[in-house]
Structure 1
């Protein structure tokens, strides 16, 4: 994989500071340690850091078309480039390399902005068409690869794969956006298209952006979306067979590489399915890796070993220290803005392990969102049934009151911890789902934020992130929350986590379950094929029964968790107090110190579990320190 940067003078053809361009480019050295390249001309500069995967001897970037009219800097893999190359050769284009980069160049010359509709893969790229005086940027449909941009006061448009590249520019405005702070403490990340900074943005998944010199408009265009229109399936068995065949094809096209290739193997359904299909497509043993934890509550390594044994993979496993919290400050530097998914810690470690064997890995990410694997989907459908039993005028005040008076019983058995469910049922469907996924609830954020921050928010709430998608969201309750997660959680949390953790080790991660053709097809499956009673991924699991044992398919989902609660009462006890009650958060004027003290005291006394909120605050404080606030 690679890193890209650029500077574009939107108004004229002024000289681009090549030293600054190089500095921006080198800040992403980790994304592409094999080679680096720059291109500059009046009013334009492109930079590229290369991680060589295909056509190692050529394919250097930035790359020019044969007529020198178009130049491209590109991060990604286009898996159907051999077919596209054949089409383009039939149109008269000649190729000097064997890589997908050159295919994008001529796809642009042949089809213009519509070229993105033909690309099947993961990508973020920028190209400059000199005759048209047009800068064109695009990001892949699901958001596997990132792309940040900003328009500066001097009329320069800058972009990069990571926020750290933009921050090298001395004119980048770094005023924190208060609505992004609200979003962060609601979701645990800053959802696209925002960043933590007011004037810096992410290009959203499935969007492109064309800027013509002399035109000051910056208006991204959506070129792709997923729809959940029901398809025609003769039977569940036939649908299951088709699912496996479609996934096998998505896996096969992602096994093309001129460097060592392998797979993450957690022992869960998705990664195990990918490894099983890879084994059937490979003459050699598949390289697999997993990490283990000493605590059996978090350890899936025995299931990974079971799959590795069945398919005779070259398996590597390492145990992670259960108190591996040395990465906290490192993570804030990797992600460049507040990011509160604690599974970034083990993800970083498994990427570190994988790099010892391979340069490219396949992962099982995307299965939960597309095939309804999260437990919260099951709870949402239960809550929807309750909502349908009572009219809104009765249900909302009744359950809102019950949720408010019901005690928060973190220490009690799960059956008695009903407060969140009662509160969710007292809301409409979208607000109820937001309540179930929030890191800090609406009430907690109200108590956490100072009067100053609440005034700056001017009534804005993080639920507005979901409301952006209300018109296009499906009406079916399960499909609706799947759509919301594909638009927010998948790109903002899951794929961000994997991209930064993998690229920190110059490791490319490919995601067959997020092949857009497969995603489009899975969206047409009846909801009952995905969530059947209490069983999520129902069709997927049934179709995998000949490939994987039942104790892999039907065991409870574990996830990539870390023991935050015990850390904050034990080895990180003092660090928590220093971070939450120290000067860094205090100087912002955004937080209610009394409530911070309450959370720390209650958690460390074992009276409440505030671990998710504390972790979010720890990561926000680390971001502020690293960003120089």
Structure 2
């Protein structure tokens, strides 16, 4: 895992910008740094910076980066994970190709073996060189072979073409900005803010989507005009000779329809997830796990233990980090400890509290680049801080399972709508019965909503507004200052899961995962984001995923032999939660109110009196708690920092 920066100079920047923008994110790569300059005529040259490892300088005979004119420059910060020797130094050159790479290609050993069979030889043990030689062998088609998380730039100076690539589901970030004086690429947005011509210009459309719906990271556009992100599975081709830029998708998500039995599906799921964890255990540095005590992370830790035992590492002690709370309502320690005992793991605990939130908020907002959904991201921040203190450079966790296996409560209405639409009345009856058994009442609201979704447009108005599924939420505190993304109600469970993976919340959760881990020089790995698992899960029949009121049905059944029943039988979803509701209503009440109802609130976007009234009603318990107050607070805090 690393940090990258690429700069195509049209006469508007100098080498100092390349250096500053690379070094700004030194926490992403504290082990080494390097630069490449290309003048458009000769072959590119690799140089050292002030933080370049002395062994890298000696091995590669690197000179200090000069203040030369350049057409294209690369900057790289390295967090050494695979082949930690200077052999893995970047930028790396092979023949006419030069690369800077952030992430991991987990199956690099298998690809390397395939390349060696063609007669190729390797001088390093890194996955970076495998990418270069695979690109040289197969061109863009090599991407289909990669199983990993990655964002990289490759220059072919003989063809005079630059490629920018992002992995299938956007686990690793890649931003770009096209200006009159330059085109720039970066791992984090803040790097682009150091360049000439940068001026903070808020993108009202993205801001409105965030404030109204909580949508984040769901489009090519970002919160700032003239800064974009390469979307998941996208490739940009930049012809340097004629200044031509083309964006295309190298990967399109196509679930693989399952035609076997449920028992066969369980067997296949076990095989895929176990292999995904096995691949992500490949590391030349210590590996731990972020353990919440929920089903997803518990399954991962149990699989890690099983794999280590099978490899003859029974004595190896796993290390976990858990976010804990003194408030039992938000604490999962007892469940995490069940897993720690079962797997013989050494537990590290962190205790996010209100005082630390106040102290760390400015740093957290800076690292995350853009607003975020709730203080749950603060809990995750504390987990990765704990991993760093424990000496764990790599962390494996359960991110991505909820979105493909119906882990969220918002899946009930789409499930019922889909069953009703398809005429699966027997299945629907069973789900209604299961719901009543679990909750003590019939799901009347979901059923009425499902019926409403079937009504023709001209009849939808017969429902009271509060019961209609086709209307946007009413937020009197928010002005309609921009057009918005259509917040449609999905017509089936499968459609809802696809939206959760591609629109919200997964894209934003992956941003948080990347920034929170990298802030502490920790690489996070997410086995559930293995593309084979996503293609498998979304190709399953819906009843394999959500059945008889059980979410993640196949996960519970497939791993019942290795995950303790106390975890399998849990129905209370928490994750890395925080005590946000209590902080807002009790010890942090005054601070939250002052931050939300601020004299710096933008009156073109907020109805100030309504913001105050709404906040008071949430704090007093008159209306149900939600994360909307946090969105107001976080947006206001961020936008005022940006406007300074």
TM-score when normalising by structure 1: 0.86
How far apart, CA to CA, are the structure 1 residues paired with 2:327 and 2:616?
Answer: 26
How far apart, CA to CA, are the structure 2 residues paired with 1:28 and 1:100?
Answer: 22
Please tell me whether residue 396 in structure 1 is matched to residue 422 in structure 2: no
For 1:123-179, what per-residue CA distance to the aligned partner results, in whole angstroms no more than 9, with x for missing partners? 00011110111110111111111111010122x110100001111113224211110
Gaps of 5+ in 1: 404-421, 436-440, 468-474
How far apart, CA to CA, are the structure 2 residues paired with 1:118 and 1:330?
Answer: 38
For 1:379-399, what per-residue CA distance to the aligned partner results, in whole angstroms no more than 9, with x for missing partners? 332355443575324752133
How far apart, CA to CA, are the structure 2 residues paired with 1:118 and 1:491?
Answer: 24
- CA offset at residue 505 of structure 1? 0.5
The corresponding residue for 1:535 is 550
8 Å contact from structure 1 (residues 584, 624) kept in 2: no
Instruction: Indicate the SS of the match to 1:534.
Output: coil
- After superposition, residues 140-151 of structure 1 pair within 5 angstroms as 140-151=167-178
How far apart, CA to CA, are the structure 2 residues paired with 1:231 and 1:196?
Answer: 39
For 1:270-306, what per-residue CA distance to the aligned partner results, in whole angstroms no more than 9, with x for missing partners? 1111111110111112222212111111111111100
Count the aligned residue pairs.
573
8 Å contact from structure 2 (residues 292, 575) kept in 1: no
Instruction: Indicate the SS of the match to 1:7.
Output: strand
8 Å contact from structure 2 (residues 501, 507) kept in 1: no
How far apart, CA to CA, are the structure 2 residues paired with 1:345 and 1:335?
Answer: 10
Instruction: Indicate the SS of the match to 2:606.
Output: coil
- After superposition, residues 513-532 of structure 1 pair within 5 angstroms as 513-532=528-547
The corresponding residue for 1:130 is 157
How far apart, CA to CA, are the structure 1 residues paired with 2:528 and 2:459?
Answer: 39
- CA offset at residue 180 of structure 1? 0.9
- After superposition, residues 98-137 of structure 1 pair within 5 angstroms as 98-137=125-164
2:484 aligned to which of 461, 464, 469: 461
How far apart, CA to CA, are the structure 1 residues paired with 2:412 and 2:246?
Answer: 38
The corresponding residue for 1:6 is 6
- CA offset at residue 365 of structure 1? 0.9
Residues 1:490 and 1:104: Cα distance change in structure 2 (over 3 Å): farther
- After superposition, residues 57-456 of structure 1 pair within 5 angstroms as 57-67=85-95, 69-154=96-181, 156-185=182-211, 186-233=213-260, 235-282=261-308, 283=313, 284-321=316-353, 324-326=356-358, 327-355=360-388, 356-384=390-418, 385=420, 386=447, 387-388=450-451, 391-393=455-457, 396-399=460-463, 401-403=464-466, 422-424=467-469, 427=470, 441=473, 443-444=474-475, 447-450=476-479, 454=481
- CA offset at residue 346 of structure 1? 0.6
Instruction: Indicate the SS of the match to 2:468.
Output: helix
Higher mean alpha-carbon deviation, 55-64 vs 20-29, is at: 55-64
How far apart, CA to CA, are the structure 1 residues paired with 2:462 and 2:581?
Answer: 33
The corresponding residue for 1:470 is none
Instruction: Indicate the SS of the match to 2:237.
Output: strand
- CA offset at residue 577 of structure 1? 3.6
- CA offset at residue 370 of structure 1? 1.6
8 Å contact from structure 2 (residues 406, 552) kept in 1: yes
How far apart, CA to CA, are the structure 2 residues paired with 1:605 and 1:476?
Answer: 36
- After superposition, residues 20-35 of structure 1 pair within 5 angstroms as 20-35=17-32
- CA offset at residue 188 of structure 1? 4.6
How far apart, CA to CA, are the structure 2 residues paired with 1:613 and 1:515?
Answer: 32
Higher mean alpha-carbon deviation, 86-95 vs 19-28, is at: 86-95
User: Which runs of at least 4 in structure 1 moved beyond 6 Å after TM superposition?
Assistant: none
- CA offset at residue 357 of structure 1? 3.5
8 Å contact from structure 1 (residues 175, 197) kept in 2: yes
How far apart, CA to CA, are the structure 1 residues paired with 2:170 and 2:505?
Answer: 8
Residues 1:544 and 1:482: Cα distance change in structure 2 (over 3 Å): same
- CA offset at residue 247 of structure 1? 0.8
Please tell me whether residue 574 in structure 1 is matched to residue 619 in structure 2: no
8 Å contact from structure 1 (residues 263, 363) kept in 2: yes
How far apart, CA to CA, are the structure 1 residues paired with 2:160 and 2:199?
Answer: 26
Residues 1:605 and 1:530: Cα distance change in structure 2 (over 3 Å): closer
The corresponding residue for 2:58 is none
Residues 1:249 and 1:621: Cα distance change in structure 2 (over 3 Å): same
Higher mean alpha-carbon deviation, 141-150 vs 236-245, is at: 236-245
The corresponding residue for 2:15 is 18
How far apart, CA to CA, are the structure 2 residues paired with 1:174 and 1:105?
Answer: 36
The corresponding residue for 1:554 is 569
The corresponding residue for 1:472 is none
For 1:416-438, what per-residue CA distance to the aligned partner results, in whole angstroms no more than 9, with x for missing partners? xxxxxx232xx2xxx7xxx6xxx
Residues 1:521 and 1:584: Cα distance change in structure 2 (over 3 Å): same
8 Å contact from structure 1 (residues 164, 336) kept in 2: yes
Residues 1:598 and 1:206: Cα distance change in structure 2 (over 3 Å): same
How far apart, CA to CA, are the structure 2 residues paired with 1:606 and 1:87?
Answer: 62
Residues 1:318 and 1:40: Cα distance change in structure 2 (over 3 Å): same
The corresponding residue for 1:56 is 84
Residues 1:191 and 1:34: Cα distance change in structure 2 (over 3 Å): same
For 1:95-125, what per-residue CA distance to the aligned partner results, in whole angstroms no more than 9, with x for missing partners? 2111010111122222222222121100000
How far apart, CA to CA, are the structure 2 residues paired with 1:547 and 1:351?
Answer: 26
For 1:175-226, what per-residue CA distance to the aligned partner results, in whole angstroms no more than 9, with x for missing partners? 1111011111122524232210121111111111111114444332112122
- CA offset at residue 242 of structure 1? 1.6
For 1:230-267, what per-residue CA distance to the aligned partner results, in whole angstroms no more than 9, with x for missing partners? 3211x212211221111111111111111111111111
8 Å contact from structure 1 (residues 183, 189) kept in 2: yes
- CA offset at residue 603 of structure 1? 2.9
How far apart, CA to CA, are the structure 1 residues paired with 2:615 and 2:200?
Answer: 30
Gaps of 5+ in 2: 40-70, 421-446
